[in-house]
A = this chain, B = another copy of it.
């Protein structure tokens, strides 16, 4: 079975960077999965992919170097099982606030005896290897989101739930929960303190802490200790590049990007 290089990087203490798919294009997914990222995440919660689009995007990314993962819309075992069956090598699970919710997320990701995931990886076996049934529990990563003050207050206990590989912080939701305005580049002291607590709990238990970020903020987030940092999304990347290219040409400069074959 294909090795999950995201997991091995985390276990080796390395930081990883990723890209986000808000739209639903298999072509875009494949391009971004060849763009130097360690992972690419199909967003089924705030992005616009439903299962059908996620399947098509996962199939399009099968040969790419980035590890394909999915943010599911909710902590629900049906959809977690389906995206794993579709070939996702990890799931980000929103709004995990308690140990019980974390245990439920793990159960949905792992086959017995470590969980209660249902067997039937037809596409996953085609995509990731014929030994998927026996290898999956070692390679699939389970990534609960820590994004409320309740979750932060439970983060130590959640980090000790067996089968969790990383945390993922949603700055917008954690900001709201802390009474702050949603901001992907949030740096308010209460937010920073919560982030520190999350990272400390993660590292103390051998797991990585991750966060949704922006190009400008990613280096700082890594310096702060996050080891799974989403740098940009398909929509943001295309819009920012397009806007700056057009502005550069309008102002008489060269846009700076040269590319053939598009």
Contacts and interface: CB of A to CB of B under 8 A. Distances in A.
Contacts of A55: 48
A77 interface: yes
A32 B238 contact: yes
B73 A81 contact: yes
Contacts of A27: 22-24, 48, 122-123, 235
Interface string A108-136: 00011100101111110110001001100
B256 A216 contact: yes
A119 B60 contact: no
Contact of A60 (B59, B133, B256, B259): B59
A13 interface: no
A85 B258 contact: no
A127 to B, nearest CB: 9
Interface stretch (A3-11, A159-167, A197-205, A218-226): A218-226
How big is the A interface, by class?
35 or more
A2 interface: no
A57 to B, nearest CB: 11
A93 to B, nearest CB: 11
A134 B176 CA distance: 10
Number of copies: 6
A214 B48 contact: no
Interface in A44-80: 45-48, 50-53, 55-56, 59-60, 62-63, 73-74, 76-79
A100 interface: no
Nearest to A51: B50
A222 B236 contact: no
Contact of A76 (B74, B182, B183): B74
Interface in A214-261: 214-220, 222, 229, 231-243, 245-250, 252-261
7 contacts: A20-B262, A24-B25, A26-B59, A28-B28, A215-B248, A218-B255, A235-B262
Given A45-B120, A232-B242, 17 more contacts: A23-B23, A35-B239, A46-B85, A46-B121, A50-B50, A52-B52, A63-B63, A74-B77, A74-B78, A76-B76, A77-B95, A95-B116, A120-B170, A120-B172, A214-B255, A215-B254, A232-B241
